[in-house]
Amino acid sequence: MSKALEGVRVLDMTHVQSGSSCTQLLAWLGADVIKLEPPGRGDITRVQLRDLPDADSLYFAMLNCNKRSITLNLKCDEGKQVFSRLVQRSDVLVENFGPGVVDRLGFSWPHLQGLNAQLIYASIKGSNAGAYASVKAYEPVAQAMGGAMSTTGSEGGPPTVSGAQIGDSGSGVHLAAAILAALYQRLSTGRGQRVTVAMQEAVLNLCRVKLRDQQRLQHGPLAEYPGSPSGDEVPRSGNASGGGNPGWALRCAPGGPNDYVYVVVQPKSWAPLVDLIGRPELAGDSAWSTPEGRLDDLDAVFAMLEAWTSRHSKFEVMEYLLAADVPCGPVLSTRELIEDQALSACGAVVSVPHPRRGAFKTIGNPLRLSDSETDIASPPLLGEHNDEVYAEAGYGKEDLMRLRRDGVI
């Protein structure tokens, strides 16, 4: 079976998470992703947060499956000549260096266009906006600048970073979408183009409902949040759903740190919900029988529901609520997720062999295509594919010996 991006060659200059998450998606979809790394040390994440002394870290391994690795010194003239040849043979070039780094190496967008008019040159940057444009955006910095931190956490508490990597991997997903759009447009134009994603804007896109609520504040309090907050800024709203129907994380037995289930109270589910918890009379109660009435007293509503959920495990609560057609989901810890048999069976979590560290678990491809299955392959060792990639680019054995001798690769 062919792959969706079979025949697409990606020259991957990315490092750390944001860019590498993008190129791993492309590799999962079948592109030939060639990760270009500095000789000797490679991507810094090979050693960051290392758990085994003689193996690449899980940080690197979980962001670089299905790729090939080559090494190249871009600070020497011959290294730049080799790079130029690789660019001429590539469909996509992806990088996430700081502002101006690639230009200072001598590879501005006009120069890259001159080397390959069909090249799609894709970059992740921190911001496009004014003074923010010079910021080196890391995950929490992007969350801070994109609206996520100011709206995450408990009322009265400090701004809080989300555990989901919406700045780094969120930007990677956005860039992958932009690259695919550029590849499709190239079919009709025959030309490549410059593609950029700013991490601030990617986070902002994921926070659009908070900007919705910012504008709603002009017309009254946010009734779906406990306490119906008003004021001139969207508050940190704890576990409020932020959607059209109120929701909250309710404690379950036996009371551990993740023994919670998230419950959404829809109008149609109110009667079966109160019947399930043994309070059927509330289905017709004048105070709480309507969504508007319940919004005025959400704290009391969720306290009543928690008195019931706290007597059952989160999985029992899920079973009962799903049978009653009440939207809910258990709060799953990282341990529960990595050990979950159902997630393994469907390919959401996979085990991948590695020549030095042994098998490790990682995330499966969340993009499911019926005619393009994904096999998650081991991440490459540093420079593992030098010989074959450079041979494909026209370098012979003597050339490779010389390039190694001179410290070019």
The bridge status of strand 360-363 relative to strand 349-352 is: antiparallel
Count Cα neighbours of 335 within 13 Å in the Cβ-side half-sphere.
2
- Whole-angstrom distance, CA of residue 219 vs CA of residue 221: 7
Q: Which helix (H) or strand (E) holds 41?
A: none
- Does residue 67 contact residue 35 with C-beta atoms inside 8 Å? yes
Which pair of tokens denotes residue 48? 């960051």
All residues at 6 or more sequence positions from 155 whose CB lies less than 8 Å from its CB, including other chains: 227, 229, 235, 236, 237, 238
- Contact between residue 317 and residue 261 where contact means Cβ atoms under 8 Å apart: yes
384/377 Cα distance (integer angstroms): 14
Helix (H) or strand (E) holding 343: helix 341-345
CA distance 383 to 378: 14
Per DSSP, 27 falls in state H
Query: Rounded to an integer, what distance in angstroms lies between the CA atom of residue 241 and that of residue 225?
Result: 8
**Residue from 56, 168, 213, 259 carrying the catalytic annotation:** 168
Per the structure block, which two tokens stand in for 237? 């709203």
Look-up of token digits 């860039």: 175
Known catalytic membership, residue 168: yes
Find the distance separating the first CA and the last CA of the chain, reported in whole Å. 35
The residues, any chain, with a CB within 8 Å of residue 62's CB and separated by 6 or more, are 360, 362, 363
For residue 361, give Cα distances in angstroms to 52, 62, 339, 357. Answer: 15, 8, 10, 11
Distance CA 62, CA 293 (A): 48
Report the catalytic residues.
168
